[in-house]
Each structure stands twice: as C-alpha cells, then as structure tokens.
A and B are shown apart, each in its own frame.
Chain A
Amino acid sequence: MAKQEKYRSRKVNRLIGNTITYIILILISIIWLFPFVGLILQSFRSYESEFGGMVNYLVPKQFSLDSYRFLFQPENGFLKWYSNTLIIAVFVAVLNTVMVLCVSYALSRMRFAGRTALMKFWLVLGMFPGFLTMICLYFLLKQIGLTQAGAVPGLILISVASSGMGYYVCKGYLDTIPRSLDESARIDGASNARIFLTMILPLAKPIVIYTALVAFMAPWCDYVFASYVAFGYSDGYNVAVALQRWIWTNDYQGYFTRFCAGGVLVAIPVTALFLCLQKYYVEGVTGGAVKG
C-alpha cells in the first residue's frame, strides 16, 4: 500500500514538475522570439502613409512593402552592399576552410621540428586584441591598393590571411580520427598528400562544414573593418556598415523601418543556412569546448 502511494506521489510530483517546466520554456521562447517578431512586423510598416521612425506600438496600422521597395532600388546602394557582403562571405568561407584544414592536418598528423613552438607562438599571438592592428592593416592594404575601391578583396585578404591561427576546433576533431587508419595507408605507400586528400578530408566532413559555416557568418557582422577599409567610398561598404549607420545616424527616425527590412533580408539566408547545418554546428561547438 505504502509503496503504491509513494509511486503515486512521485507521479504527481513529476506532473507538477513538467507543468512548471513547460511554463518556463514557453516564457523563455516568448522572450527569445519577441525581438525577431518585432523586427519582422516593423519592417512592414508603411513609410509613406505611416512613419519610418520608431513608434510606441508593435503592429503596424497598415502593412506595406515600402521599406523593401526602397532597399531594392539600385540607386539606394543596398543591393550593392548586399552583393559585396555575399561575395566576401563566400570567398572567406572557402578560403578560410582551406587554410584551417592545411594547418590542422600538419599539426595533427605530422611531427616536425618547431611544431610545439609554432603552436605556442600562435597561442600567444592570439592573446593580442584584433583591433590593435587596425591602422597598420589599413596602411598595408593601402600599399597594395586594396582600400576604398579595392575594399572587397582587401577585406577578404585580411580575413583569410590570419585564419590559420583558428585551427583549434578543427585540429581537435582530426585528433579523434584514429591514427591507425593513416598509418596502414602509409605502410601501403600512400604519401601524406594522398592521405590528406583521400582519407582524412572525407572523414572530416562535419568539421569542414562547421568551419565553413562559422567563416561564412562572420562577414555579415563585420562593420568595424569594413567601414575602416572602405572609408569614404560608399560602394565598398557591406550591409553591416549600412545597418549600423542607419540606426546610429541622427535621422535614424526615418531609417528605422528600413533597418528592420534590411535586417530581415540579411537574416534570412544566414539563418536558413545555419538551421540546415545546425547538426554540424553543435558537433563543432561541443567538441571544441571539451578540447579547449
């Protein structure tokens, strides 16, 4: 009897616990999604018949595509900035991944003089803040003509050049691929290049996707270097610079709904890609965290 009662009280407890959990989760979901719902709703507010600035209500009185129409007019520059960002993101995603894979394979699979010294040196270098070198990078780029009109290739160059230093997660993953696998191939006479390209690379697919995804997402947020490198040449800006300017200029009142619409346009491809590849992202984050 007592046992049954205990069992029942446990069941009741669990039911109460689950209900509380559901309530908390629903509250969290509302908090997490509210800003995005607001962003989307306000991007549809009419610029002409209503107001383009900030208002004290969420749902527009009249839905319209005014803000989107503004963005899609080529003379307003947004399309140019959008394509700049897309070009940068694609190149950076591909080239960064190549660099990171090269470094990771060399450090994970090969033993050579200076290996630990190189790793320690890069670790120390990584402790310097990135913005410290901004002016120096600007002048270096200027020397090779990759500022202002050359801002897009210039930005690609500075993202890719030092990307080898971010090898940690990728190397950690390669370390978990059993060495016996490539050792036996080596005995069969396969060269390191062959092992890298035909054995390790296919096995490293999740981490390749993770690396490319992270690299692809970064340029969409990069307004610091983009505004610095393209300084004064508006065709060289990217979307991040535009969004940030629209929000921060004194007449952001007129640009707020345009910011919202621009934000939606930026978020759609990045978010879609991320959600599709979420599985690989989780794998990378979890692996990287444990390895350090």
Chain B
Amino acid sequence: MGKSGKTSSVGKALKWCGADLKEIGVTFAEGDWKTKLSFVIMGFGPLMRGQILRGVSLLAAEALYIYYMATFGAGYLKDIGTLGTVATHTDTSGIIPVTVYGDNSFFILLYSLLSLFFTAAILFLWRVNIRQNYRAEKLLKEGKKLPTIRQDIQSLLNQHFDKTLLALPCIGVFVFTVLPIAFMICIAFTNYDVNHQSPTNLFTWVGLENFRNLLSIGGSGFGSTFVTVLLWTLVWAFFATFLNYFLGMGVAILINRKGIKFKKLWRTILVMTIAIPQIVSLLYVSKMFAADGLVNGYLLKWGLIKQAIPFWTQAGYARVMIILINVWIGIPYMVLMATGLLMNIPEDLYESARIDGANGFQMFRKITLPYMLFVTGPYLLTSFTGNLNNFNVIYLLSQGGPKSMKLTGGAGYTDLLITWLYKMTVNDTNYRMAAVIGILIFVVTAVISLSVYRLLPSVKDEEGFQ
C-alpha cells in the first residue's frame, strides 16, 4: 500500500495543479477585458460588474499587501539569507561615542516569515480572484444574475457560515501558533543563544550544527544527556499512563461493586485532586516529602529512621516518588471515566459467566478488560502523549532535579524533554537547543501517535464490540 498510495497521491496533486493552471489560462484567454485586467488589479472585474463588496475586499487585500511589503516587509525579507550584518556597536569616530543600533536578527527572521506567509496568502487570494471572474462571466453568459451584496452577506450566515465561524479561530491559530512554531523551527538552524542575543548581537544560520551537537556524545555535547532524558521521558509516560489506567480501573470496580454504599462519596473524595488546582496540591505534597517536611519529620520523631529520606535529592527516590504521586493526581480521571463505561457492560454477560463457574479474576480478564481496552484505546493514546509532555507534575514536584554534573544543559534526573526545553529557554536562554528539543518532542509524539493509532482496535474495526 504505502508506496503506491504515495505515488498516486503525488500524481493526483500534479493532476490537480495542471487542471488549476489550465483553468487560469482559459480564464485569461477567454475572459473579457475586465477579467484580463483583474489579473493585475485584483477585484477589478467584480467591481466593474457591480459586486462591490467582493471587489473592494480583493482590491483592499492587494493594496494592503503592497503597502506592507513596500514599507515594511521587503526591508526585512532582503536580509533573510544572513539575518543581519551590522551588529550594534559604539561609533567612536566623533567627539562623543555614540551607540549605533544594528540589525535585529530576531525581527528580521520573524517579519521575513510573516512576509512569506502574506505572500502565500496573496497568491491564494489572487487565485480566488480569478475564479470569481471566471464564475461571474459564466453566470452572465448563462443569462443569470450575479449575487447582490445582500445575498453575499446572507450567505455568510448560511451556506458560507463555516467561513464566518472559522475566520477568527484560524487567524488566532495562525498568529499565535503557526507563526511562532515556524519561527522556532527556523531557530533550530541558527546560533541564537546567550552569546547571540538580539538586539545587541546578531545571530545567523548554522545549518545542522545544533542537531549534530544534540547527538554528539562526550565533551560538552548534549548526546548522553539527551539519551538519559529521552529514556526517562518514555519510562515515565509508560508508568504514568498504564499504572493509572489499571489502578483507576481497579478502584472504579471496587466502588461499583454490588452492596457498596456511599458510591458518590467515594468518588467525590477521589475527585478532590482534580478539583483543587495542581499548583496548590502538588507544591504542598512536594514540600511534604522534603528533607524538613512532614513525612520525614514524623518518621524521625517516631525513631523509624535516623536520617531524613532523600526523596527529592536522589535520582531513584525522586523518580519513584513522582510516579507514585502522579497516581494520586491521575487515577481520579480514570475512575470517573471507568465508572460510566463499566455500567455499559451488559450484566447478563457476567451472569452467564458466573453460571459457567468463572471467578472474579477470570471475568475481569475475559469480559471487563477487553471491553475497556476496546473502548478506551484512543484515551490511552492521548493520555500517553499527554504524559510525555506532562510539565506540571514534574516541575511542581521536583523541578526536574536532582541535578548532576554528568548532565549538560542544566538537566536533572527527573527532567522530561519538555521541562528540559523550559529550563533551556528560561534559565540558560539557550534558544537554539531548546528549539531542537522542541522539534524532537514533536517527532517522538508524532511517531508514537501515528504508529499506535493504526493499531487501535476501535480504529481497525469500528463495529467490533457492538
């Protein structure tokens, strides 16, 4: 499937491109002078044909684009190859030394990207503009009337309501997610770090140097630290997901047992850890297990230990503690979910199993577990990828510590990739490596999601458990 599917989709794309180019050509060749002029002056055709709203919007878009590029964008875009050449320096040629501000690499990169995105947008609008002309001419030839402004506006509330609804969310996602991500992907290929901070210093393209640094083992290379952090991230995500899953299911089964009273009370007690903000609960628990905290305090007082247990200062302890405390934080979600789902399992399945002499564990393995795994497959996947990036639990409990001289980049033994990224951004201002780590987090998440998604029973066989 893989390869042939790919070539066929490439073929499809090529075909589509060809058809599109052909339509543009035909529109130009067969169009009247209004259409032809629209190829240069966007919206000219609609304006002349009385579609004022469409014409004005298209024309305004073109005018804005030209204005933006001429006064602002082009000036930045021309430097994208170097990200600036003039550093901020002090001019001592005069009597009084003057600070001369040079190029700002940060803004050159950011606004160049913005200009590129705007260019893509204007090309798309240009295509829309041509299709508008094409359609309008076709309608007129058929002797039909063009939609009026009133109809245009009404269609935005009906046939084209999706555009009205999605306009704001899409702009928001573009400015505050797409643009920053594109920017940071570029940063991974530059030397933007503590020694190359704009506006005082320039940074520039360095190719794959940062990626090489991440994979180089020994010396000041990030390689061995990266492997340590990545492995712990995967181990953590595995335990955080599956331990919570099974323990949560277990507690839900206990609460759901026949003859157990106050079901709602038990659930409410568990739910407290969801309801109370993690910043309160996790920070308090973190201090509870500190060297001078409540737990060590009582253990010492009762004479059970001679020295405080190093819950947060020894790697092994810290890792186990984090996984255990995450059970406290995490299983209530599973309990809430499993309670509803468990009640969906038909009671007669259990009844007939009981008649056949099955015991509780056998019924769990043969009836409950397959059903739950089938239904909650997608949840397990999202929960696993969520845990890969579970910043709060790690950072509020241990801040990624304990640190070690063996680890570079300020990493500690409980750091996940995401907390390491955060430390590099905030503490070390090592943006170049932070960007590389960010891209690798994306790769890990994407690979796991895609490969597991295909294996999910509920995706393979949607009707499986009906």
Q: How far is the CB of A236 from chain B (nearest CB, A)?
A: 17
Judge whether A131 and B284 touch: CB under 8 Å: no
Judge whether A102 and B166 touch: CB under 8 Å: yes
Interface residues contributed by chain A, number (CB under 8 Å): 92
Interface residues contributed by chain B, number (CB under 8 Å): 99
Chain B contacts for A103, CB-based, 8 A: 165-166, 169
Q: CA separation between A164 and B272, bound complex, in Å?
A: 28
Judge whether B181 and A32 touch: CB under 8 Å: no
- Closest A residue to B300 by beta carbon equals A56
Q: Which among A31, A106, A275 is the interface contact of B162 at CB below 8 angstroms?
A: A106
User: Is residue A124 within 8 Å, beta carbon to beta carbon, of the partner chain?
Assistant: yes
Q: CA separation between A145 and B161, bound complex, in Å?
A: 33
Q: How far is the CB of B290 from chain A (nearest CB, A)?
A: 7
Within 8 A of A (CB), among B24-53: none
Within 8 A of A (CB), among B358-412: 375-379, 381-382, 385, 389, 391-392, 396, 399
Chain B contacts for A278, CB-based, 8 A: 268, 271
Q: How far is the CB of A3 from chain B (nearest CB, A)?
A: 14
Judge whether A271 and B169 touch: CB under 8 Å: no
Among B68-76, B224-232, B336-344, which stretch is in contact with chain A? B336-344
Within 8 A of B (CB), among A123-162: 124-125, 127-137, 139-140, 157-158, 160-162
User: Is residue A58 within 8 Å, beta carbon to beta carbon, of the partner chain?
Assistant: yes
Q: CA separation between A33 and B281, bound complex, in Å?
A: 11
Judge whether A243 and B283 touch: CB under 8 Å: yes
Chain A contacts for B162, CB-based, 8 A: 106, 110, 112, 115
Judge whether B177 and A292 touch: CB under 8 Å: no
- B245-282 CB contact bits vs A (8 Å, 1 = yes)? 00000010011011110000010111111111111110
Chain B contacts for A178, CB-based, 8 A: none
- Closest A residue to B183 by beta carbon equals A136
Judge whether B379 and A131 touch: CB under 8 Å: no
Judge whether A127 and B268 touch: CB under 8 Å: no
Chain A contacts for B288, CB-based, 8 A: 35, 38
Q: How far is the CB of B251 from chain A (nearest CB, A)?
A: 7
- B431-449 CB contact bits vs A (8 Å, 1 = yes)? 1001100100110011001
Chain B contacts for A112, CB-based, 8 A: 162-163
User: Is residue B147 within 8 Å, beta carbon to beta carbon, of the partner chain?
Assistant: no
- Check A35/B173 contact, CB under 8 A, given A25-B254, A132-B421, A193-B157: no
| Residue of A18, A157, A164, A224 with most chain B CB atoms under a 10 A cut-off | A164
Chain B contacts for A243, CB-based, 8 A: 279-280, 283
- Check A140/B418 contact, CB under 8 A, given A29-B266, A266-B280: no
Q: Which among B274, B378, B385, B434 is the interface contact of A290 at CB below 8 angstroms?
A: B378
Chain B contacts for A271, CB-based, 8 A: 272, 275-276
- Check A135/B425 contact, CB under 8 A, given A25-B266, A292-B381: yes
Chain B contacts for A289, CB-based, 8 A: 337, 376, 378-379
Judge whether B106 and A139 touch: CB under 8 Å: yes
Among B79-87, B135-143, B236-244, B291-299, which stretch is in contact with chain A? B291-299
Judge whether B169 and A136 touch: CB under 8 Å: no
Judge whether A99 and B169 touch: CB under 8 Å: yes
| Residue of A163, A252, A282, A289 with most chain B CB atoms under a 10 A cut-off | A289
User: Is residue A94 within 8 Å, beta carbon to beta carbon, of the partner chain?
Assistant: no
Judge whether A224 and B284 touch: CB under 8 Å: no
Chain A contacts for B378, CB-based, 8 A: 289-292
Q: CA separation between A55 and B337, bound complex, in Å?
A: 38
User: Is residue B328 within 8 Å, beta carbon to beta carbon, of the partner chain?
Assistant: yes
Chain B contacts for A267, CB-based, 8 A: 275-277, 280
Q: How far is the CB of A260 from chain B (nearest CB, A)?
A: 7
- Closest A residue to B293 by beta carbon equals A54
Among A64-72, A76-84, A203-211, A215-223, which stretch is in contact with chain B? A215-223
Judge whether A164 and B337 touch: CB under 8 Å: no
Judge whether A259 and B172 touch: CB under 8 Å: no
Q: CA separation between A131 and B340, bound complex, in Å?
A: 34
Q: CA separation between A22 and B276, bound complex, in Å?
A: 25
Q: How far is the CB of A31 from chain B (nearest CB, A)?
A: 7
User: Is residue A91 within 8 Å, beta carbon to beta carbon, of the partner chain?
Assistant: no
User: Is residue B154 within 8 Å, beta carbon to beta carbon, of the partner chain?
Assistant: yes
Please list 19 pairs of residues, one from A and one from B, whose beta carbons are closer than 8 Å in the complex, sorted by A's number.
A25-B260, A36-B276, A54-B290, A54-B292, A122-B173, A131-B425, A132-B438, A134-B425, A161-B176, A164-B169, A196-B165, A247-B286, A247-B287, A260-B284, A274-B275, A275-B275, A286-B337, A290-B375, A291-B378
Known contacts A162-B177, A164-B170, A266-B277; can you find 12 more A-B pairs with CB under 8 A? A33-B272, A102-B165, A103-B165, A115-B162, A132-B435, A135-B431, A139-B110, A157-B176, A252-B287, A278-B268, A285-B333, A289-B337
Interface residues of B (CB under 8 A from A): 106, 110, 154, 157-159, 161-166, 168-170, 172-173, 175-181, 183-184, 251, 254-255, 257-260, 266, 268-281, 283-288, 290, 292-294, 296-298, 300-301, 328, 333, 336-337, 339-341, 375-379, 381-382, 385, 389, 391-392, 396, 399, 417-418, 421-422, 425-426, 431, 434-435, 438, 441-442, 445-446, 449, 458
Interface residues of A (CB under 8 A from B): 14, 17-18, 21-22, 24-25, 28-29, 31-33, 35-36, 38-39, 54-58, 99, 102-103, 105-106, 110, 112, 115, 118, 122, 124-125, 127-137, 139-140, 157-158, 160-165, 191-194, 196, 217, 220-221, 223-224, 228, 239-240, 243-244, 247-248, 252, 256, 259-260, 263, 266-267, 270-271, 274-275, 278, 281-282, 285-286, 288-292
